[in-house]
């Protein structure tokens, strides 16, 4: 959170040159120790950012925190000679409801002196009217491979439908958490992808899209007037598979059935 705050307050060049290379080394008795890669980095931080970092850490920990900067080249090389300092202590009072930071109401935007330290930090980092509209925490990871290899094979319509479908799911590759089965309608996908429903139907029945990216089945319900369609259930592949040619060249074959058994052969009758 401190890095995010400093990134917003500085130019990109200054942040990447002086701030980003720093590493947290420890926190003991109200002193937060940072590692700088050289004396120039230490001097720059001490002269320009020491008080600001101290202010942010004080708000975060809920107690007065001072900042000490050391030059620790061995820290970056991974040498055994790296200084042994106590690990950074966890915050005793974690920030509440981190996933709801964009749901702050207007009355939450109080002057800094009127709010709690945690609320102030959240407001600064995520509480602007602009940030609440953009919602940067809802970004979607897209690889260069998808652009350079799959886009020419699939075409723009299929590419945008795949991204629209992924935007309805959740995947954290670091933790393995995956929610990639959604109940939706073709009209909703079409609206997200800015294409027609006819285009969505064609894409969902495209052989390569079905094989590698999207599987669906039509949901039907019984009513007084008989069986009617009630949208679709869709499973979305969130990681990028290898294109067929790269599978041949590398000898790495993609998993044939990456989808759940219930998403077997799609029901083409729905799109015909």
Scanning 88-243, the segments in alpha helix (DSSP H) are 117-126, 129-134, 144-145, 151-154, 156-166, 186-193, 197-204, 207-212
Q: How far is CA 245 from the centre of its chain?
A: 30
pLDDT at site 269? 41
pLDDT at site 248? 94
Rounded average pLDDT over 249-255:
91
Per-residue pLDDT tens over the stretch 4-52: 888 888 888 788 888 888 888 888 888 999 988 787 788 888 888 888 9
pLDDT at site 170? 85
Task: Name the more confident of 166 and 131.
Answer: 166
Per-residue pLDDT tens over the stretch 56-89: 898 888 889 999 998 875 444 444 334 444 445 4
pLDDT at site 99? 39
Mean pLDDT comparison of 6-15, 111-120, 141-150, 221-230, highest-scoring range = 141-150
C-alpha span between 204 and 213 (Å, rounded): 9
Mean pLDDT comparison of 59-63, 94-98, 146-150, 260-264, highest-scoring range = 146-150
Q: What is the pTM of this model?
A: 0.52
CB 158 within 8 A of CB 209: yes
How many helices, marked H, and strands, marked E, lie in the chain? Answer: 14, 8
Closest CA to 210 of 267, 171, 168: 267
Per-residue pLDDT tens over the stretch 217-229: 998 877 777 777 7
Helix H or strand E encompassing 35: strand 31-36
Query: Running DSSP on this structure, what letter comes out for residue 25?
Result: E
Per-residue pLDDT tens over the stretch 127-140: 567 777 776 656 67
CB 242 within 8 A of CB 250: yes
Q: Could you tell me the sign of the dihedral formed by the alpha carbons of 193, 269, 233, 153, in that order?
A: negative
Residue count of the chain, please give it.
Answer: 272
Mean pLDDT comparison of 23-32, 116-125, 191-200, highest-scoring range = 191-200
pLDDT at site 22? 86
Q: What is the CA radius of gyration of the chain?
A: 25
CB 221 within 8 A of CB 228: yes
Query: Running DSSP on this structure, what letter comes out for residue 225?
Result: T
Helix H or strand E encompassing 44: helix 39-48
C-alpha span between 46 and 69 (Å, rounded): 7
Query: Running DSSP on this structure, what letter comes out for residue 220?
Result: E
User: Is the confidence at residue 197, as pLDDT, over 70?
Assistant: yes
């Amino acid at each position: 959170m401190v890095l995010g705050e400093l990134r917003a307050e500085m130019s990109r060049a200054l942040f990447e040159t002086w701030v980003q290379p720093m590493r947290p080394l420890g926190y003991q008795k109200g002193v937060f120790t940072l590692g700088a890669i050289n004396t120039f980095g230490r001097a720059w931080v001490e002269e320009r950012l020491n008080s600001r970092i101290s202010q942010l850490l004080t708000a975060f920990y809920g107690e007065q925190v001072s900042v000490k900067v050391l030059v620790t080249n061995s820290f970056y090389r991974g040498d055994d000679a790296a200084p042994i300092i106590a690990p950074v202590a966890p915050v005793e009072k974690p920030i509440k409801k981190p996933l709801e930071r964009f749901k702050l109401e207007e009355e939450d935007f109080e002057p800094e002196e009127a709010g709690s330290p945690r609320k102030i930090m959240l407001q600064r980092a995520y509480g602007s009217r602009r940030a609440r509209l953009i919602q940067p925490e809802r970004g979607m990871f897209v690889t260069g491979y998808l652009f350079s290899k799959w886009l020419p094979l699939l075409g723009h319509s299929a590419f945008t439908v795949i991204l629209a479908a992924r935007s309805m799911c959740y995947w954290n590759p670091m933790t393995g958490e995956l929610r990639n089965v959604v109940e939706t309608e073709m009209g909703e996908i079409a609206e997200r992808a800015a294409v027609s429903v006819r285009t969505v139907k064609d894409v969902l029945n495209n052989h390569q899209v079905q094989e590698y990216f999207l599987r669906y089945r039509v949901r039907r319900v019984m009513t007084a007037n008989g069986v009617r369609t009630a949208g679709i259930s869709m499973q979305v592949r969130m990681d990028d598979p290898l294109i067929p040619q790269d599978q041949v060249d590398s000898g790495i074959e993609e998993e044939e059935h990456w989808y759940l058994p219930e998403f077997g052969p799609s029901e083409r009758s729905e799109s015909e």
